[in-house]
C-alpha cells in the first residue's frame, strides 16, 4: 500500500511509521502544521505544533529513509476545531477537540489530500486495534488499557477507517518506547503530550475566557434556588467541575458543590451536591457507526463518556435522530457536548459499536 504517515514529532507516530515501513508499505511522512504561528503554541517537547516538533518528525522520517513534508492545515484546524471548541463552550457544552480533529482534519482533510495523491491510507500512532472483516472495519480497544485511544477514533465512519492504519494497537506504550530505543529513534524518551494542543499552558478556562470575553450571570443552588455568586460566563465551567467554582459560602450540609448544569441563554450555572450529578439516562445525536453496521434494536454495551474513565455498563437503543442510553450503573460528570462511545464485549477486545454526541441527561 501507499501510506501517508501523520508524524507529530512524538514517539508513537514515529514508531507507527517505522512499523508501516517494515510491513512493506511505501510510506511518506507528513507533519501537520496546525498553528498559523508555529512557536506561539506549546514550546518545548509537549505539544504537537511547535517548530521543534516538526523538526523531530523530520529527523525521525530521515532515519526511516522516507520522504517527509510539512503541510499547513492551520486554516482548517482553526475553522473546524478551535472555532467549534469555542462555540461549544459558548453553548454551555463540553467539546472534545481531539475527537473533532480526528473526524475533520486527520481523517478528513489530510486523508482527502492523501487519496488525491494516490495514497491508500493514513497511518497514525493511535493506540487502538483496527481490522477488517468482510469489508467492515472493526475498531477495538488497545491492548494497553491505560493508553487506549479507541474513544477518540470511534466517531470515524467506516469509510474513513477503511483508509486508516493504526500499527500500535497491539502494543503497550512501554513496548513502543523500547522499540523506539532499539530502532535508534531519538524521540524514544520524549515525554507524552497531554491536554489540548492549542492551549499552551493547559488553562482551558483562561483560553476560553480570553476569546469569548465575559458574559456575567449567576451561580444558583439547584436545590434551593438561592443565588450563591456571580460569574463571568458559563463558558468558564464544565459539568462535573468541583474546583474553582467561586462560591465561598459552604453548603448547608457541608458537602462539596459540583457544577450540575449550564444554561447559556440565562447565563445560569447550577450547582449542588455530588449525588445530584449522577446520571442514569443519556440522549445522544449525531450517531456514527465505525463498523458501518447500524443498530437495529437495544444492545448491551459498555459506554465511555470521556477520553479517560467515565465507563459504565448500559443498554443502548436506537431512536429517531439518535440513541438513548440506559445506564446499568449511574455515572457522574456527564456533560452535553461530550462524546459517548458504546463498546460491545468481545473475546479479542471490546469492539466500538457507535459514537454519538451527548445532548441531554436525566
Q: Which residues are catalytic?
A: 101, 197
Site for other proteins in 299-328 (CB under 8 A): 318, 321-322
Provide the strand spans (E) within the chain.
2-6, 26-33, 68-72, 121-123, 128-133, 136-141, 164-165, 217-221, 227-231, 258-263, 268-272, 279-288, 299-304, 311-319, 322-331, 339-344, 351-361
Distances (CA, A) of 360 to 105, 108, 236, 322: 27, 28, 20, 11
Interface mask toward other proteins for 62-101; x: CB under 8 A: -----x-xxxx-----------------------------
How many other C-beta atoms can be found within 10 angstroms of the C-beta atom of residue 260?
22
283 φ, ψ to 5°? -110, 135
* Residue 103 interacts with other proteins (CB under 8 A): yes or no: yes
User: Which residue among 116, 184, 244, 309 contacts other proteins (CB under 8 A)?
Assistant: 116
Interface segment toward other proteins; rule CB under 8 A; list 24-32, 91-99, 196-204, 215-223: 24-32
C-alpha cell at 32: 501537520
Count of residues that bind other proteins according to CB under 8 A: 40
C-alpha span between 126 and 168 (Å, rounded)? 7
* Residue 108 interacts with other proteins (CB under 8 A): yes or no: yes
Nearer CB in complex with other proteins: 185/288: 288
Site for other proteins in 250-269 (CB under 8 A): none
- Of the candidates 204, 232, 192, 240, the one whose C-alpha atom is nearest the C-alpha of residue 216 is 232
* Residue 109 interacts with other proteins (CB under 8 A): yes or no: yes
Nearer CB in complex with other proteins: 71/186: 71
* Residue 107 interacts with other proteins (CB under 8 A): yes or no: yes
Which sign, positive or negative, has the C-alpha torsion 306, 145, 139, 325? negative
| Residues of the shown chain interacting with other proteins in the complex, contacts defined by CB under 8 A | 28, 30-31, 33, 38-39, 50-51, 54-55, 58, 67, 69-72, 103-104, 107-109, 111-113, 115-118, 157, 159-160, 285-289, 294, 318, 321-322
Amino acid at each position: 500500500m501507499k501510506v501517508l504517515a501523520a508524524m507529530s514529532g512524538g514517539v508513537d507516530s514515529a514508531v507507527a511509521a517505522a512499523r508501516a515501513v517494515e510491513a512493506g508499505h511505501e510510506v511518506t511522512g507528513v507533519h501537520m502544521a496546525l498553528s498559523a504561528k508555529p512557536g506561539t503554541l506549546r514550546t518545548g517537547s509537549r505539544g504537537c505544533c511547535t517548530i521543534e516538533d516538526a523538526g523531530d518528525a523530520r529527523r525521525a522520517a530521515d532515519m526511516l529513509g522516507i520522504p517527509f513534508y510539512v503541510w499547513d492545515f492551520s486554516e482548517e484546524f482553526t475553522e473546524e476545531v478551535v472555532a467549534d471548541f469555542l462555540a461549544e463552550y459558548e453553548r454551555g457544552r463540553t467539546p472534545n477537540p481531539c475527537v473533532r480533529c480526528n473526524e475533520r482534519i486527520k481523517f478528513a482533510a489530510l486523508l482527502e489530500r492523501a487519496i488525491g495523491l494516490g495514497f491508500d491510507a493514513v497511518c497514525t500512532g493511535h493506540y487502538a486495534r483496527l481490522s477488517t472483516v468482510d469489508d467492515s472495519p472493526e475498531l477495538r480497544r488497545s491492548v494497553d488499557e491505560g493508553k487506549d485511544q479507541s474513544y477518540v477514533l470511534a466517531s470515524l465512519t467506516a469509510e474513513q477507517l477503511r483508509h486508516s492504519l493504526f500499527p500500535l494497537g497491539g502494543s503497550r506504550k512501554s513496548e513502543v518506547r523500547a522499540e523506539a530505543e532499539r530502532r535508534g529513534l531519538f524521540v524514544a524518551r520524549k515525554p507524552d503530550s497531554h491536554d489540548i494542543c492549542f492551549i499552551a499552558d493547559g488553562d482551558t478556562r483562561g483560553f476560553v475566557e480570553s476569546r469569548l470575553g465575559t458574559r456575567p450571570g449567576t451561580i444558583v443552588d439547584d436545590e434551593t434556588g438561592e443565588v450563591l455568586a456571580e460569574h463571568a460566563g458559563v463558558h468558564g465551567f464544565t459539568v462535573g467541575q468541583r474546583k474553582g467554582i467561586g462560591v465561598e459560602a459552604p453548603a448547608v450540609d457541608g458537602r462539596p458543590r459540583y457544577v450540575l448544569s449550564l444554561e447559556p441563554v440565562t447565563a445560569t450555572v447550577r450547582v449542588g451536591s455530588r449525588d445530584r450529578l449522577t446520571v442514569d439516562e443519556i440522549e445522544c445525536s449525531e450517531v456514527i457507526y465505525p463498523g458501518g453496521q447500524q443498530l437495529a434494536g437495544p444492545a448491551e454495551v459498555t459506554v465511555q463518556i470521556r477520553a479517560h474513565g467515565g465507563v459504565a455498563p448500559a443498554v443502548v437503543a436506537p431512536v429517531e435522530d439518535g440513541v438513548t442510553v440506559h445506564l446499568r450503573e449511574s455515572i457522574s460528570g456527564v456533560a452535553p457536548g461530550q462524546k459517548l462511545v458504546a463498546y460491545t464485549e468481545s473475546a479479542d477486545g471490546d469492539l466500538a459499536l457507535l459514537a454519538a454526541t451527548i445532548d441531554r441527561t436525566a
